[in-house]
């Protein structure tokens, strides 16, 4: 399931949605800025970004500020930043996943 | 619809966890010994998997990679080599860094797998014990899927769908063509490695012939499929850059492929016979031999896997990643194999060292070059769903995009190549 959990979304009182809530509660979506989860998610980014240089089309994303990484990923998710490949990758990220990625990249240097 | 209460959900979850706990998973024979992972195949799937387990397990798992080649030429970007944009050396990579990182790389072929004893038997007779095995042998060519074709015929009519000498042979033949010569490509049926690959290759053929100033070149594609990946975009590109040079025939147009003859360089269809200066036969494909011989493939010739882990549904101690696997909506590509390997690596660490695991997620993007600086892509993200790896988002290049966007696509694909080969080979 694509659990794009919204932090301020009130749980609906039906059993079916209660089940969804349980899954979200025990799943990674609710773990705000989980470094280990960020490291796992970041493996997807490595495929393209790990060898970025100052002049490459695919930019470096290591060692950037948390707020900056989060804002850029949200902008790709919301399609306010252009780049179809990144819009596709960011399109399924939940707020918590973005927070975890931002934490990971803010404290990790390029391997 | 049955209403699930929180209590019944807990009960179901408990039952499911119980089933997992009682599955016949192998544990390390000695409590003190390091658990052993053996990886067969050092390409995009196997290389990535070995490196990620080695790196993330930080020495807690003994990782062995079995790959006969000391130098691995990538199939991805081999069309770019055919088109003359890259050298063969630039798409060929060694394992020195993988070795330095601590992976035990054995340059020998895996002859067989003794799944009952959990051992891989090498061609020299040595046996490697494993707690978990990852199988990533890529594809084998089904030579007999094209009447008249064979391994010997491929020396005259190259398939070049497994990289290396075949890729060089195809390129040499292409570069020896004279104006007025004809190329015939026999395209493969689904499923096959790199869905847009044959059509990018046709584009690269056309690019080379056009760059030489040839006015009378002709490329005929005999396709067993009624449609192909990024078809509209390719055909628009062919019309734009190579008007009148490429003739793509679907089964209704050629009536079915009858045979090929390497002695006369002839391709026969139901409706015509083509004598060509260069014939590129890309036959049907199947999982690499070791996977089939070990009983890991089903009747399709490919290996069924659990979409949440890339674990074989046939053997709980074995994982299959890359082109040999049945990966649902994911195409057979290096990007897919690299993505699948990361899910398998995480699951293997979870099983062998109790490392944390997270829900599987996969991604893929395939770029294709039509002509210099005119590059298109198709991609998707994927998750387990409906009993398979299911596509959840998709993207594809649009018709008649600005030239600068297509040029940036190519630059991005080159950067992607630089990145993924480091992800695979260190």
- The tens digit of pLDDT for each residue in B341-400 reads 999 999 999 999 999 999 999 999 999 999 999 999 999 999 999 999 999 999 999 998
Is any Cβ of chain B less than 8 angstroms from the Cβ of A29? Answer: no
> Which one of A41, A47, A73, A108 would you mutate to disrupt binding with B, by most B Cβ within 10 Å of its Cβ?
A47
List, in sequence order, the alpha helices (H) in B230-357.
231-241, 251-254, 289-293, 334-353
A44-B51-B87 Cα angle (round to 5)? 80
Give the confidence band of B105 by pLDDT, cuts at 50, 70, 90: very high
Judged against a pLDDT cut of 80, whether residue B15 lies above it is answered with no
Closest CA–CA distance from residue B411 to any residue of chain A (Å)? 6
Which residue of B4, B379, B412 is in closest CB contact with A19?
A: B4
The structure tokens 């104006």 sit at: B179
- Specify whether the CB–CB gap between B136 and B320 falls below 8 A: yes
Which residue of A18, A40, A91 is in closest CB contact with B358?
A: A40
Q: What does each C-alpha distance from A84 to A47, B93, B198, B228, B260 come to in angstroms?
A: 17, 30, 24, 21, 42
- Whether residue A47 and residue B419 make contact (CB cut-off 8 A), yes or no, is yes
- Whether residue B358 and residue A44 make contact (CB cut-off 8 A), yes or no, is no
Give the Cα separation of B180 and B165 in Å (integer).
Answer: 27
- Specify whether the CB–CB gap between A102 and A67 falls below 8 A: yes
Peptide bond into B191 cis (omega under 30): yes
- Specify whether the CB–CB gap between B358 and A37 falls below 8 A: yes
Question: What is the pLDDT, as a whole number, of residue B20?
Answer: 41
Query: Regarding beta strands B62-66 and B104-106, do their DSSP bridges make them parallel or antiparallel, or are they unpaired?
Result: parallel
Contacts of B383 in chain A (CB under 8 A): 1-2, 92
The structure tokens 């070995």 sit at: B50
Work out the mean pLDDT of chain B and round it to a whole number: 94
- From A37, which residue of chain B is nearest by alpha-carbon distance? B358
Question: What is the pLDDT, as a whole number, of residue A13?
Answer: 34
Question: What is the pLDDT, as a whole number, of residue B76?
Answer: 98
- The dihedral sign for the CA sequence B321, B164, B166, B230: positive
Judged against a pLDDT cut of 70, whether residue B11 lies above it is answered with no
- Whether residue B395 and residue A44 make contact (CB cut-off 8 A), yes or no, is no
Q: Locate A43 and state its tokens.
A: 């493996």
Question: What is the pLDDT, as a whole number, of residue A5?
Answer: 41
Kindly give the interhelix angle for B403-425 and B334-353, rounded to the nearest 10 degrees. 40
Give the Cα separation of A67 and A57 in Å (integer).
Answer: 22
Q: In this predicted model, what pLDDT tens digit does every residue of B209-252 receive, in sequence order?
A: 999 999 999 999 999 999 999 999 999 999 999 999 999 999 99
Burial A83-105 (b: 16+ CB within 10 A, else e): bbbbbbbbbbbbbbbbbbbbbbb
Give the Cα separation of B340 and B269 in Å (integer).
Answer: 38
- Whether residue B419 and residue A2 make contact (CB cut-off 8 A), yes or no, is no
Question: What is the pLDDT, as a whole number, of residue B328?
Answer: 98
List, in sequence order, the alpha helices (H) in B126-259.
165-175, 197-211, 231-241, 251-254
Judged against a pLDDT cut of 90, whether residue B27 lies above it is answered with no
- Whether residue A85 and residue B412 make contact (CB cut-off 8 A), yes or no, is yes
Query: Regarding beta strands B182-186 and B278-281, do their DSSP bridges make them parallel or antiparallel, or are they unpaired?
Result: parallel
Q: Which residues contact B345 (CB under 8 A, 6 or more apart)?
A: B48, B49, B52, B53, B56
Which residue of A56, A89, A92 is in closest CB contact with B415?
A: A56
Contact map slice: B 324-363 vs A, CB within 8 A: 335, 338-339, 342, 346, 356, 358-359, 361, 363
Contacts of A91 in chain B (CB under 8 A): 381, 393
Q: What does each C-alpha distance from B67 to A4, B135, B426 come to in angstroms?
A: 41, 11, 15
Give the Cα separation of B1 and A19 in Å (integer).
Answer: 14
- Specify whether the CB–CB gap between B384 and B390 falls below 8 A: yes
Q: Which domains, from first to last, does chain B contain? A: 24-138+288-358+411-425 (3.50.50.60), 144-281 (3.50.50.60)
């Amino acid at each position: 399931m694509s659990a794009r959990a919204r932090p301020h979304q009130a749980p609906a009182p039906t059993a079916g949605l209660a089940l969804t809530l349980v899954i979200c509660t025990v799943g990674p979506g609710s773990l705000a800025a989980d470094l280990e989860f960020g490291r796992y998610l970041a493996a997807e980014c490595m495929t393209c970004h790990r060898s970025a240089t100052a002049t490459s089309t695919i930019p470096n994303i290591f060692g950037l500020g948390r707020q900056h990484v989060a804002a850029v990923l949200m902008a790709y998710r919301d399609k306010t930043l252009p780049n179809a490949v990144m819009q596709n990758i960011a399109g399924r990220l939940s707020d918590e996943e973005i927070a975890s990625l931002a934490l990971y990249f803010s404290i990790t240097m390029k391997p | 619809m049955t209403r699930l209460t929180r209590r019944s959900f807990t009960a179901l979850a408990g039952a499911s966890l119980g089933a997992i706990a009682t599955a016949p998973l192998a544990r390390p024979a000695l409590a003190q010994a390091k658990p052993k992972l053996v990886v067969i195949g050092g390409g995009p799937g196997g290389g990535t998997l070995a490196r990620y387990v080695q790196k993330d397990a930080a020495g807690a798992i003994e990782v062995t990679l079995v790959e006969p080649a000391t130098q691995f030429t990538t199939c991805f970007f081999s069309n770019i080599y055919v088109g003359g944009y890259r050298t063969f050396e630039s798409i060929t990579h060694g394992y020195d860094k993988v070795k330095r990182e601590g992976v035990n790389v054995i340059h020998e072929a895996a002859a067989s797998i003794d799944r009952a004893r959990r051992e891989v038997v090498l061609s020299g007779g040595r046996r490697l014990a494993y707690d978990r095995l990852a199988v990533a042998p890529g594809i084998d060519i089904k030579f007999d899927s094209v009447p008249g074709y064979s391994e010997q015929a491929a020396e005259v009519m190259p398939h070049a769908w497994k990289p290396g000498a075949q890729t060089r042979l195809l390129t040499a033949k292409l570069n020896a063509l004279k104006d007025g010569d004809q190329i015939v490509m026999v395209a493969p049926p689904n499923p096959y490695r790199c869905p847009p690959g044959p059509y990018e290759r046709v584009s690269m053929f056309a690019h080379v012939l056009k760059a030489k100033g040839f006015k009378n070149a002709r490329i005929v594609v005999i396709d067993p499929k009624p449609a192909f990946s990024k078809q509209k975009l390719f055909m628009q590109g062919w019309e734009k850059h190579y008007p009148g040079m490429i003739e793509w025939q679907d089964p209704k147009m050629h009536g079915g492929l009858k045979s090929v003859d390497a002695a006369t360089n002839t391709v026969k269809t139901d409706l015509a016979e083509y004598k060509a200066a260069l014939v590129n036969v890309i036959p049907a494909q199947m999982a690499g031999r070791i996977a089939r011989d070990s009983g890991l493939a089903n009747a399709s010739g490919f290996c069924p896997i659990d979409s949440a882990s890339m674990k074989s549904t046939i053997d709980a101690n074995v994982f299959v990643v890359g082109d040999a696997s049945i990966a649902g909506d994911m195409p057979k590509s290096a990007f897919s194999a690299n993505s699948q390997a990361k899910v398998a690596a995480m699951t293997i660490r979870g099983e062998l060292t109790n490392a944390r695991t997270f829900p599987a997620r996969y991604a893929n993007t395939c770029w294709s070059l039509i002509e210099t600086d005119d590059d298109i892509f198709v991609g998707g993200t994927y998750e387990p769903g409906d009993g398979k790896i299911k596509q959840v988002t998709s993207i594809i290049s649009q018709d008649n995009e600005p030239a600068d966007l297509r040029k940036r696509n190519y630059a991005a694909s080159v950067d992607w190549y630089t990145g993924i080969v480091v992800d695979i080979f260190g």
